[in-house]
Amino acid sequence: MALNRKLAFGVSGCAAVVVAGVAVFATLSLWREPVRPPTAPASQIIELPPVAAVPQVAAPVALPAEPPAWRRFAVPTPVTDLPLVVIVIDDMGVDRHRSLRAAALPAPLTLSYLPYAEHVAVDAAAARARGHELLLHLPMEPVSRSEDPGPHALFTGGSTDDLLQRLDWNLARFDGYVGANNHMGSRFTADRAAMTPVLNRIAARGLMWLDSRTTGATVAPAVAAAQSVPLATRDVFLDHDPSAANVAAQLHLLEAIARRKGIAVAIGHPRDATLSALEQWLPQLAAKGLVLAPLTAAVNYGDFGG
């Protein structure tokens, strides 16, 4: 036991001496460092590159401008020489059952969601994931005082600040849309002083405008042209008369306009007769020599209808 302790002392005593020696040597080395000449041959001395050769952080380069929203969120236009038909379904999102039935139709439809619909962000995103193009269905003042365009609607006659605040509330409710069209709005879209700040903001957001033509007095095409807003125009309403016979007749009219002009735009609603008619009609398009296209195809095509 005593021997072990002595051995242990001996080992630790030696270690202490070695540590102390290393410490003294290191201290002397440090002290001598400033005056010690280089000991390595000149060829082995690593020279730092001159400052000018150090790789420099690249100067900021202007990135190509991001495409405007109406192109960024567009569904690709089919490449074909066949006539194109565009089906826009307005008033999406409030009647959720029928809206989901519309979104289940073959894509690409163009689905225009009411911003105040409770589940609009979720439902619009799901529809876009199914291959549909999205629009924002902007509530606007109708001529008839008995019709209610809904909460946060745009009205004529107020201040521009109030108008733009209402517009911004609507624009912020969901995303992924290529543009907007009017819900009701027969009075608002005929009012140049009201439409100008709205389409100015639409232009600033890189969005397109679909003129639903709920009034023949619409100023939207003229104001959109002045603000360089990409524009499309509705050719046919499918279901103002929601009977099955009328919807069928309107689809027939849409086909005729598409064959004559190369592209035609219809607007319908998530109503039973309309949805049933589209469930039958859409699978027959190929046999008719027609191709379903998103609304942005009507802008790309350069034919604004009318």
**Positions that interact with Zn ion (CB under 5 A):** 90-91, 183
**Tokens of residue 251, six digits:** 């689809």
- Give min distance, CB of 190 to Zn ion, in A: 16
DSSP string covering 182-201 = EEE-TTGGG-HHHHHHHHHH
Nearer to Zn ion, 132 or 183 (CB): 183
For residue 136, the surrounding DSSP H or E stretch is strand 133-140
Tokens 């807003």 correspond to 229
Using Cβ positions, the residue closest to Zn ion within the complex turns out to be: 183
| Smallest gap from residue 158 Cβ to Zn ion (A) | 21
How many Å apart are CA 16 and CA 22, to the nearest integer? 10
In whole angstroms, the minimum distance from the beta carbon of 111 to Zn ion comes to: 12
Q: Specify the residue, 173 or 183, whose C-beta has the smaller distance to Zn ion.
A: 183
- The residues, any chain, with a CB within 8 Å of residue 279's CB and separated by 6 or more, are 105
Q: Tell me how far, at minimum, the Cβ of 66 lies from Zn ion, in Å.
A: 30
Q: Is the distance from CB of 133 to CB of 74 less than 8 angstroms? A: yes
Q: What is the closest distance, in whole angstroms, from the C-beta atom of residue 63 to Zn ion in the complex?
A: 38
- Per-residue burial over 40-49, b = 16 or more CB atoms within 10 Å of its CB, e = otherwise: eeeeeeeeee
Assess contact for 209 and 140: CB atoms under 8 A.
no
Do 140 and 189 touch, CB atoms closer than 8 A? yes
Closer by beta carbon to Zn ion, 183 or else 187: 183
Angle at 288 (CA atoms; ends 282, 291), nearest 5 degrees: 60
Cβ 69 to Zn ion shortest distance, Å: 21
Q: Of 91 and 191, which CB lies nearer to Zn ion in the complex structure?
A: 91
Q: Give the nearest distance from C-beta 183 to Zn ion in angstroms.
A: 4
Pairing of strands 110-113, 84-92: parallel
Q: Are the beta carbons of 115 and 137 closer than 8 angstroms?
A: yes
Tell me if residue 265 falls in helix, strand or coil.
Answer: strand
Shortest Cβ 57–Zn ion spacing (Å): 53
- List Cβ neighbours of 190 (8 Å cut-off, separation of 6 or more): 215, 217, 218, 219
What's the rounded Cα separation, in Å, for the pair 71 and 207? 8
Instruction: State which residue, 182 or 296, has the beta carbon closest to Zn ion.
Output: 182
